[in-house]
Structure 1
């Protein structure tokens, strides 16, 4: 998934907002809280995609080649793709959707309702 494809996909999720921060990172939020990032962290020119995940997904993903605990965010159960193709696009999209749901689920009922995400 390219950065442009990542941005288009994230923009299609409900109640999202997008900012560029941390030296040109594409940061996607729901209710002001980050759920996915595409950036060039550390050395190298290739992009890296990071996202929030469940405890179980975190434990499984960090054992997979090309996936690591996300720098600075691992304690909050974030993972980062170290190389393109570490996850098939279909799987990556499913994890991004799950990340969106996890973060949206942590918002207050009032905030979810205001964003049109109420149950």
Structure 2
């Protein structure tokens, strides 16, 4: 998945905002809470990290092409280390689920202000 693909995907979702953090990472957030990070520069360029369901974390990190995300694994984030192992639709599904998980943890009033997902 390229950065333009990620932008096209995430821009459609209510409350989703794009920013660059740490000088090298493209970050999409909802209500200032990150749901996906893509490294935009350097040797890890293209690495995609996102939140997953806690009950799927071990399953996903044990399969080839995924690993616990640096600094974020304790919050059930994974990194796609070999994106060629996954289809665009699979990656888009992971990112969408991450958005849903992060959004569900927002206060109800904030969720309501965002509108329908």
TM-score by length of 1: 0.89
Identify if the C-alpha distance between structure 1 residues 17 and 46 changes in structure 2 by more than 3 Å, giving closer, same or farther: closer
**Deviation beyond 2 Å, 4+ runs, structure 1:** none
| 8 Å Cα contact 1:68/1:81 also seen in 2 | yes
Matches within 5 A, 1:1-119: 1-40=1-40, 44=43, 46-117=45-116
Q: Secondary structure at the match of 1:85?
A: helix
- 1:82, distance to aligned residue in structure 2 (A): 1.0
- Point out where structure 1 has 5 or more consecutive residues left out of the alignment: none
Q: In structure 2, how many angstroms separate the alpha carbons of the residues matched to 1:101 and 1:61?
A: 18
TM-score by length of 2: 0.90
Q: Secondary structure at the match of 2:45?
A: coil
Q: Number of paired residues? A: 117
- Point out where structure 2 has 5 or more consecutive residues left out of the alignment: none
| 8 Å Cα contact 1:62/1:68 also seen in 2 | yes
Root-mean-square deviation (Å): 1.8
Greater helix fraction, Structure 1 or Structure 2: 2
| 8 Å Cα contact 2:38/2:45 also seen in 1 | no
The C-alpha deviation readout for 1:79-115, integer Å capped at 9, x for no partner, is: 0011232322111111111111100000001111111
